[in-house]
Amino acid sequence: MTCTLGIDIGTFETKGVLVTPDGTILATATRPHKMLVPRPGWAEHRAEEDWWGDFVHVTKALLAQSGVDPKEIKAIAASAIGPCMLPVDAAGAPLMNGVLYGVDTRATAQIAALNAAIGEDRILAHCGNALTSQSVGPKILWLKETHPELFARTAKVLTSTSYLTWKLTGDYVIDHYTAANFSPLYDVGLQDWTADLADILPLERLPRLMWSTEIAGHVTTAAAAETGLAEGTPVTCGTIDAAAEAVSVGVASPGEMMLMYGSTIFIIQVTDQPVRDPRLWYAPWLFPGQHASMAGLATSGTLTHWFRDQLARDADFAQLAAEAADSPKGAKGLICLPYFSGERTPIHDPKAKGAFFGLDLTHTRADLYRAVLEGIAMGTAHVFETCAEVGATPRTVRAVGGGTKNALWLQATSDLCGAVQEVCDKTIGASYGDAFLAALSVGLVEEGDIVRWNPVATRVAPEAVATYRKQYPLWKAFYRASRDIAHQLGAS
């Protein structure tokens, strides 16, 4: 049976699907892995074990479960967490663990140095983005300055998807959407690598640029032997997981936004023109001539995992959500700053700290957990507020990801953001979007067919909540009031 394969490597789990050209799911498979935190502010994956090892495991599981002849898989697309920084040697072997996206804040000093040397305005003009913990360029500079022996052996600097594509095809490629996060090494106006702003890395050590649905290569003999896939199967360039997730719920036209509830909240809005504001991120979208404005929190699903692991080991997430539903909106006057790994957009403060404020002896675990969810929702509302200030208020909002199963979290987000959220029939996420992009790459579907693959199933409308109208400004004020203290704590 003709189908396509989509696999996504997430922060904590890998998911894969086999899908027919009409959107029918033939098989799904998952495999968990861990995010390594060797030091505060660092976040890593093992490229061979977590990225490629998971890809192989999930692919074999899908083939075994479905009984599909590998020759019936007409194309493969992968996505992964990003943007990451992975140096590899001349043989393509990783020289260290992959340094993850904006949750890894190790390059703070390099960001400051590059801003001073180049100028923040010049960086924004050429790269479309301010330098933040999401930027790969400063992390490459960190490698160069702190591990010169590894940098000297670096033949290529890859991201997570680039590594998967290389393992499958033997080709080093990267899509423009991901490459735009390599500031200051990517010029969004030229849509090409640039060495004009900083001498960080010879440009030949970067992957070849492509669009996400272009065919990067074909499954090699070695990759076929490891995965069970058919040699010669087309492989797309791939993209970052959040972009594939947006595709999976039909985000395609200007004004359409994807709100992803995952290990972090990630937001993508397709725009008709570039939105260049230092509080947000910009990239070319997956197809030529289209643009995307992005935002992301640093801790969301990771914070709920922390809460369960440290404060509720006797409970699962369903039980915690049920407990929190018995706490009133506003958690009895309790607010939470969700900055447990610093914060990304819109404040870009890697030294920000998480906090609960307003505690008294009447508060329970249920109140604390509700405050966590509402704190994340307030962080999301801060992004929506920023979008409105730059003239990019979304026309529609599609919610996706594991957090959509938490009705309390969804409702708090709609209430605080003042937005109707649409939840599609299938919330599998990025791997489903990958399968669609793979089908698109070989002509099995047209771009608009995703609406047929995954129609809207439910809508969550905002409610007027007087407590939130009072607490949200106080939440912002609490960050401002505690910022200097947080920075001094981080320096101690």
Q: How far is CA 239 from the centre of its chain?
A: 10
* 67 shares a domain with 22: yes
Structure tokens at 399: 């919610």
* 410 shares a domain with 331: yes
* 283 shares a domain with 215: no
* 310 shares a domain with 213: no
Q: Please check whether residue 400 lies inside any domain of the structure.
A: yes
Q: How far is CA 450 from the centre of its chain?
A: 21
Q: In what helix (H) or strand (E) does residue 111 lie, and over which residues does it extend?
A: helix 108-118
* 182 shares a domain with 94: yes
* 237 shares a domain with 277: no
pLDDT of residue 492: 53
The span from the CA of 343 to the CA of 431, in Å, is 27
* 212 shares a domain with 334: no
Is 142 in contact with 165 (CB distance < 8 Å)?
Answer: no
pLDDT of residue 428: 85
Residue 8, helix vs strand vs coil: strand
* Residue that finishes a domain, picked among 194, 217, 242: 242
Q: Who's near 175: CB < 8 A, 6+ residues apart?
A: 161, 209, 210, 211, 212, 237, 238, 239, 286
> Counting runs of H as helices and runs of E as strands, what totals does the chain give?
16, 24
CATH number at residue 324: 3.30.420.40
- What is the radius of gyration, based on Cα positions, of the chain? 22
Q: Please check whether residue 446 lies inside any domain of the structure.
A: no
* 298 shares a domain with 200: no
Residue-number span of the structural domain to which 262 is assigned: 252-428+462-492
The tokens 């670096």 sit on which residue? 154
Tens-level pLDDT at each residue, the chain (492 residues): 899 999 999 988 999 999 999 999 999 999 999 999 999 889 999 999 999 999 999 999 999 999 999 999 999 999 999 899 999 999 999 999 999 998 899 999 999 999 999 999 999 999 999 999 999 999 999 999 999 999 999 999 999 999 999 999 999 999 999 999 999 999 999 999 999 999 999 999 999 999 999 999 999 999 999 999 999 999 999 999 999 999 999 999 999 999 999 888 999 999 999 999 999 999 999 999 899 999 999 999 999 999 999 999 999 999 999 999 999 999 999 999 999 999 999 999 989 999 999 999 999 999 999 999 999 999 999 999 999 999 999 999 999 988 899 999 999 999 999 999 999 999 888 999 999 999 999 999 998 999 999 999 999 999 999 999 999 999 999 999 999 999 999 775
* Residue that finishes a domain, picked among 242, 269, 288: 242
| 8-state DSSP, 271 | E
* 266 shares a domain with 128: no
* 266 shares a domain with 285: yes
* Residue that finishes a domain, picked among 242, 276, 307: 242
- The dihedral built from the CA positions of residue 70, 76, 79 and 83, taken in this order, carries a sign that is positive
418: left (phi over 0), alpha (psi -120 to 50) or beta: left
User: What's the half-sphere exposure (Cβ side, CA atoms, 13 Å) at 62?
Assistant: 32
Q: In what helix (H) or strand (E) does residue 120 lie, and over which residues does it extend?
A: helix 120-127
* 298 shares a domain with 151: no
* 217 shares a domain with 87: yes
The tokens 């890593």 sit on which residue? 44
Q: Please check whether residue 436 lies inside any domain of the structure.
A: no
The span from the CA of 293 to the CA of 284, in Å, is 9
How are beta strands 25-32 and 13-19 bridged, if at all? antiparallel
Structure tokens at 263: 């290990």
Report the domain count for the chain.
2
